[in-house]
């Protein structure tokens, strides 16, 4: 039986938390960012990119529901776990602990992001708050998937 700490490093845990945080803000970033930056197949990278851009645009629509509706926080936790598992595969590490870190960060980020948007609603137009949130999420995803990591 493989040890759940096989290949685990502090850096991988931090990257797992970052990808989970990004997924809590924009769920497509969880599985999409590692795919976009690490998949060898062009079609996979293209699909991930389209999914990410679609969510970034869709989030700005006035009809976009709250990320907490219909189990949204749990779905974002799953997206964080998927992204962290992909990062663990890149590092040839056992995925359990990174997936747990990604899931926890995704769940926490979904709630923090909803609170941020509620707070920001009285201080700026919603689209501006959404763009600031996009910048944080994209930055976290980029840091989690830094170039030079081994491909998936």
DSSP assignment of 4-24, as one string? TTTT--HHHHHHHHHHHHHHH
CA distance 106 to 52: 16
* pTM of the full structure: 0.91
3-class secondary-structure state, position 99 = helix
CA distance 148 to 138: 18
Q: Please name the residue ranges forming H helices in 27-95.
A: 29-38, 42-58, 72-90
pLDDT digits (tens, 9 = 90+) for 32-49: 999 999 888 999 999 999
CA distance 118 to 50: 28
Q: What's the confidence (pLDDT) of residue 2? A: 57
Phi first, then psi, for residue 147 (nearest 5°) are -55, 150
Residue 37: Cβ-neighbour burial (10 angstroms; 0-12, 13-18, 19+): buried
pLDDT digits (tens, 9 = 90+) for 70-127: 999 999 999 999 999 999 999 999 999 999 999 999 999 999 999 999 999 999 999 9
- The alpha-carbon radius of gyration of the chain (Å, integer) is 15
Residue 87's CB is within 10 A of a number of other CB atoms, namely 30
């Amino acid at each position: 039986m493989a040890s759940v700490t096989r290949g685990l490093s502090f850096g991988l845990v931090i990257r797992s938390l970052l990808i989970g945080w990004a997924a809590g803000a924009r769920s497509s970033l969880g599985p999409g960012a590692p795919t976009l930056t690490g998949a060898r197949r062009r079609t996979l990278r293209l699909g991930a990119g389209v999914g990410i851009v679609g969510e970034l645009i869709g989030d700005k629509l006035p009809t976009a529901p709250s990320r907490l509706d219909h189990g949204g926080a749990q779905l974002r936790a799953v997206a964080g776990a998927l992204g962290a598992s992909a990062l663990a595969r890149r590092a040839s590490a056992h995925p359990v602990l990174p997936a747990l870190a990604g899931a926890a960060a995704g769940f926490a980020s979904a709630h923090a992001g909803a609170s941020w948007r509620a707070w920001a609603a009285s201080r700026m137009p919603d689209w501006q708050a959404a763009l600031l949130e996009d910048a944080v999420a994209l930055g976290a995803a980029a840091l989690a998937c830094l170039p030079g990591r081994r491909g998936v």
